[in-house]
Amino acid sequence: MKTLVKTTSLLNVDKAGPVFTPQLFQGWRQIIPNGATFVHETYFDMAGLSQDEKTFFFDGATVQDLTNPSATGAVAGDLCQIADIMSALPLNDTQLGAFAVYGGNEEAAFPTFDQTIYARLRVFSVDVDFSASGYFNLLSDNQLGSLGPTASDRIYVYRVVIFGANNTATNCSITPARFLLQMTAREEPDFEYIMRLKRSYDLQQSYDED
Protein backbone atom coordinates (compact mmCIF):
# COMPACT_ATOMS: atom_id res chain seq x y z
CA MET A 1 0.00 0.00 0.00
CA LYS A 2 1.25 3.46 -0.92
CA THR A 3 0.34 6.82 0.60
CA LEU A 4 0.27 9.59 -1.99
CA VAL A 5 0.59 13.23 -0.87
CA LYS A 6 -0.22 16.55 -2.52
CA THR A 7 -0.30 19.99 -0.91
CA THR A 8 -1.93 23.34 -1.53
CA SER A 9 -0.40 26.68 -0.59
CA LEU A 10 -1.59 29.52 1.63
CA LEU A 11 -4.39 31.68 0.25
CA ASN A 12 -4.53 35.24 1.55
CA VAL A 13 -7.26 37.51 0.16
CA ASP A 14 -7.98 41.20 0.73
CA LYS A 15 -11.42 42.66 0.20
CA ALA A 16 -12.38 46.26 -0.45
CA GLY A 17 -16.09 46.72 -1.03
CA PRO A 18 -17.32 44.01 -3.42
CA VAL A 19 -13.84 43.23 -4.82
CA PHE A 20 -11.76 40.26 -3.66
CA THR A 21 -8.04 40.69 -4.38
CA PRO A 22 -5.53 37.87 -3.82
CA GLN A 23 -2.33 38.87 -2.04
CA LEU A 24 -0.54 35.56 -1.59
CA PHE A 25 -1.54 33.67 -4.69
CA GLN A 26 0.79 30.68 -4.96
CA GLY A 27 -0.89 28.29 -7.34
CA TRP A 28 -4.36 29.76 -6.80
CA ARG A 29 -6.64 31.41 -9.33
CA GLN A 30 -9.92 33.29 -9.27
CA ILE A 31 -12.66 31.63 -11.28
CA ILE A 32 -14.19 35.04 -11.98
CA PRO A 33 -12.03 38.21 -11.90
CA ASN A 34 -12.71 40.03 -8.63
CA GLY A 35 -14.97 37.10 -7.77
CA ALA A 36 -15.40 35.35 -4.47
CA THR A 37 -14.33 31.86 -5.65
CA PHE A 38 -10.72 30.64 -5.67
CA VAL A 39 -9.28 27.34 -6.93
CA HIS A 40 -6.03 25.48 -6.37
CA GLU A 41 -5.50 22.39 -8.52
CA THR A 42 -2.90 19.68 -8.96
CA TYR A 43 -2.94 15.93 -9.59
CA PHE A 44 -1.47 12.61 -8.54
CA ASP A 45 0.52 11.23 -11.47
CA MET A 46 0.29 7.44 -11.54
CA ALA A 47 1.33 6.89 -15.16
CA GLY A 48 4.31 4.78 -14.14
CA LEU A 49 2.07 2.25 -12.44
CA SER A 50 -0.62 2.34 -15.10
CA GLN A 51 1.98 1.40 -17.71
CA ASP A 52 2.30 -1.90 -15.84
CA GLU A 53 -1.39 -2.49 -16.57
CA LYS A 54 -2.42 -2.29 -12.94
CA THR A 55 -5.66 -1.05 -11.42
CA PHE A 56 -5.63 1.35 -8.48
CA PHE A 57 -7.65 0.35 -5.44
CA PHE A 58 -8.09 3.04 -2.80
CA ASP A 59 -7.97 2.20 0.89
CA GLY A 60 -8.56 5.66 2.32
CA ALA A 61 -8.45 9.40 1.67
CA THR A 62 -8.38 12.51 3.80
CA VAL A 63 -7.37 16.17 3.84
CA GLN A 64 -5.27 17.67 6.62
CA ASP A 65 -5.10 21.37 7.41
CA LEU A 66 -3.82 23.42 10.32
CA THR A 67 -6.62 25.73 11.44
CA ASN A 68 -10.00 27.12 10.48
CA PRO A 69 -9.99 30.04 8.02
CA SER A 70 -9.11 33.34 9.67
CA ALA A 71 -10.40 36.85 9.01
CA THR A 72 -9.74 40.49 9.86
CA GLY A 73 -12.64 42.89 10.27
CA ALA A 74 -15.25 40.12 10.02
CA VAL A 75 -18.70 40.36 11.58
CA ALA A 76 -21.24 37.74 12.57
CA GLY A 77 -22.71 36.05 9.51
CA ASP A 78 -19.66 36.30 7.27
CA LEU A 79 -19.36 33.01 5.38
CA CYS A 80 -16.62 30.82 3.91
CA GLN A 81 -16.92 27.41 2.21
CA ILE A 82 -14.07 25.03 1.42
CA ALA A 83 -14.51 22.10 -0.98
CA ASP A 84 -11.74 19.49 -1.29
CA ILE A 85 -12.08 17.11 -4.23
CA MET A 86 -10.11 14.13 -5.54
CA SER A 87 -11.51 12.98 -8.87
CA ALA A 88 -10.56 10.49 -11.56
CA LEU A 89 -11.81 13.08 -14.05
CA PRO A 90 -10.72 16.68 -14.64
CA LEU A 91 -13.32 19.26 -13.62
CA ASN A 92 -13.90 22.60 -15.31
CA ASP A 93 -14.43 25.91 -13.51
CA THR A 94 -18.20 25.78 -13.88
CA GLN A 95 -18.32 22.40 -12.16
CA LEU A 96 -15.96 23.51 -9.42
CA GLY A 97 -17.92 26.69 -8.75
CA ALA A 98 -21.16 24.73 -8.52
CA PHE A 99 -19.85 22.01 -6.23
CA ALA A 100 -21.03 23.73 -3.05
CA VAL A 101 -24.58 23.66 -4.44
CA TYR A 102 -24.77 20.37 -6.32
CA GLY A 103 -22.02 18.22 -4.79
CA GLY A 104 -21.42 15.12 -6.90
CA ASN A 105 -24.85 15.24 -8.55
CA GLU A 106 -24.53 13.94 -12.11
CA GLU A 107 -27.33 16.25 -13.19
CA ALA A 108 -24.85 19.08 -12.66
CA ALA A 109 -22.44 17.40 -15.12
CA PHE A 110 -20.18 16.13 -12.37
CA PRO A 111 -18.36 12.81 -12.65
CA THR A 112 -20.21 9.70 -11.67
CA PHE A 113 -20.18 8.54 -8.08
CA ASP A 114 -17.53 5.96 -9.00
CA GLN A 115 -15.23 8.59 -10.47
CA THR A 116 -15.47 10.88 -7.43
CA ILE A 117 -12.77 9.27 -5.30
CA TYR A 118 -13.24 11.61 -2.33
CA ALA A 119 -14.81 14.98 -1.66
CA ARG A 120 -15.41 17.07 1.44
CA LEU A 121 -17.40 20.27 1.84
CA ARG A 122 -17.11 22.42 4.95
CA VAL A 123 -19.04 25.57 5.75
CA PHE A 124 -17.61 28.18 8.13
CA SER A 125 -19.16 31.32 9.57
CA VAL A 126 -18.27 34.08 11.99
CA ASP A 127 -20.58 34.12 15.00
CA VAL A 128 -21.41 36.68 17.66
CA ASP A 129 -19.68 34.92 20.55
CA PHE A 130 -16.31 34.42 18.88
CA SER A 131 -16.12 37.18 16.27
CA ALA A 132 -13.19 38.75 18.16
CA SER A 133 -11.13 35.57 17.84
CA GLY A 134 -10.28 36.26 14.21
CA TYR A 135 -11.45 32.81 13.07
CA PHE A 136 -14.41 31.41 11.19
CA ASN A 137 -16.27 28.68 13.10
CA LEU A 138 -17.15 25.34 11.53
CA LEU A 139 -20.88 24.99 10.83
CA SER A 140 -20.94 21.74 8.85
CA ASP A 141 -18.56 19.08 7.57
CA ASN A 142 -19.82 16.63 4.94
CA GLN A 143 -17.99 13.99 2.93
CA LEU A 144 -18.82 11.97 -0.15
CA GLY A 145 -17.12 9.76 -2.72
CA SER A 146 -16.76 6.11 -3.61
CA LEU A 147 -13.06 5.29 -3.15
CA GLY A 148 -13.82 3.24 -6.24
CA PRO A 149 -11.00 1.58 -8.22
CA THR A 150 -9.80 3.16 -11.45
CA ALA A 151 -7.38 2.57 -14.30
CA SER A 152 -6.91 6.30 -14.88
CA ASP A 153 -3.31 7.47 -14.75
CA ARG A 154 -4.24 10.70 -12.93
CA ILE A 155 -6.25 11.61 -9.88
CA TYR A 156 -7.13 15.30 -10.03
CA VAL A 157 -6.95 17.27 -6.79
CA TYR A 158 -8.88 20.50 -6.21
CA ARG A 159 -9.36 22.88 -3.31
CA VAL A 160 -12.16 25.39 -3.89
CA VAL A 161 -12.68 28.33 -1.53
CA ILE A 162 -15.89 30.34 -1.76
CA PHE A 163 -16.43 33.50 0.26
CA GLY A 164 -19.94 34.75 0.86
CA ALA A 165 -20.92 37.57 -1.50
CA ASN A 166 -21.72 39.84 1.45
CA ASN A 167 -18.55 39.01 3.36
CA THR A 168 -17.47 42.16 5.20
CA ALA A 169 -14.00 40.96 6.28
CA THR A 170 -11.14 43.09 4.95
CA ASN A 171 -8.78 40.09 4.84
CA CYS A 172 -9.25 36.30 4.83
CA SER A 173 -6.62 33.56 5.05
CA ILE A 174 -6.84 29.84 4.27
CA THR A 175 -3.95 27.77 5.59
CA PRO A 176 -2.10 25.23 3.40
CA ALA A 177 -3.59 21.75 3.18
CA ARG A 178 -2.26 18.23 2.64
CA PHE A 179 -4.24 15.73 0.54
CA LEU A 180 -3.56 12.09 1.41
CA LEU A 181 -4.61 9.12 -0.70
CA GLN A 182 -3.84 5.52 0.28
CA MET A 183 -3.87 3.10 -2.61
CA THR A 184 -2.77 -0.32 -3.76
CA ALA A 185 -1.89 -1.14 -7.37
CA ARG A 186 -2.61 -4.68 -8.44
CA GLU A 187 -3.44 -6.66 -11.54
CA GLU A 188 -6.97 -7.65 -12.52
CA PRO A 189 -8.12 -10.26 -15.01
CA ASP A 190 -7.50 -8.96 -18.54
CA PHE A 191 -11.17 -8.54 -19.43
CA GLU A 192 -11.96 -6.51 -16.28
CA TYR A 193 -8.87 -4.35 -16.71
CA ILE A 194 -9.56 -3.63 -20.39
CA MET A 195 -13.16 -2.62 -19.65
CA ARG A 196 -12.08 -0.42 -16.75
CA LEU A 197 -9.38 1.18 -18.92
CA LYS A 198 -11.89 1.86 -21.68
CA ARG A 199 -14.28 3.42 -19.20
CA SER A 200 -11.56 5.70 -17.83
CA TYR A 201 -10.47 6.68 -21.34
CA ASP A 202 -14.01 7.47 -22.48
CA LEU A 203 -14.66 9.64 -19.43
CA GLN A 204 -11.35 11.46 -19.77
CA GLN A 205 -12.12 12.31 -23.39
CA SER A 206 -15.56 13.58 -22.43
CA TYR A 207 -14.33 15.92 -19.70
CA ASP A 208 -10.81 16.95 -20.70
CA GLU A 209 -10.77 20.44 -22.20
CA ASP A 210 -7.19 20.34 -23.51
The model's pLDDT over 111-162, given as tens digits with 9 standing for 90+, comes to 567 788 999 999 999 988 888 889 999 999 999 888 888 878 889 999 999 9
Question: Residue 184: is its pLDDT beyond 80?
Answer: yes
**Residue 112: per-residue pLDDT:** 65
**pLDDT tens sequence across 77-114:** 999 999 999 998 888 888 887 777 776 555 555 556 77
**Residue 187: per-residue pLDDT:** 75
**pLDDT tens sequence across 1-34:** 789 999 999 999 888 777 887 776 678 988 876 6
Choice between 168 and 6, residue whose per-residue pLDDT is larger: 6
Query: What percent of the chain is helix, strand and coil (3-state, nearest 5)?
Result: 20, 45, 35
Please tell me the distance from the alpha carbon of residue 177 to that of residue 63, in angstroms, as a whole number: 7
Residue 191 sits at φ, ψ, to 5 deg, of: -65, -45
Q: Is 160 in contact with 120 (CB distance < 8 Å)?
A: no
Question: Residue 43: is its pLDDT beyond 80?
Answer: yes
Output the CA angle 43-196-160, nearest 5 degrees. Answer: 25
Please tell me the distance from the alpha carbon of residue 73 to that of residue 170, in angstroms, as a whole number: 6
C-alpha distances out from residue 183 to 112, 121, 173, 178, Å: 20, 22, 32, 16
The pairing of strands 79-87 and 116-125 is antiparallel
Q: What is the mean pLDDT of the chain?
A: 82
- Report the share of the chain in percent with pLDDT over 90: 39
**Residue 210: per-residue pLDDT:** 44
User: What's the whole-model pTM score?
Assistant: 0.84
Question: Residue 193: is its pLDDT beyond 60?
Answer: no
Choice between 38 and 97, residue whose per-residue pLDDT is larger: 38
**Domain spans in the chain, listed from the N-terminal domain onward:** 2-207
**pLDDT tens sequence across 45-83:** 987 665 566 788 899 999 999 999 999 988 899 999 999
Burial of 39 (0-12, 13-18, 19+ CB in 10 A): buried
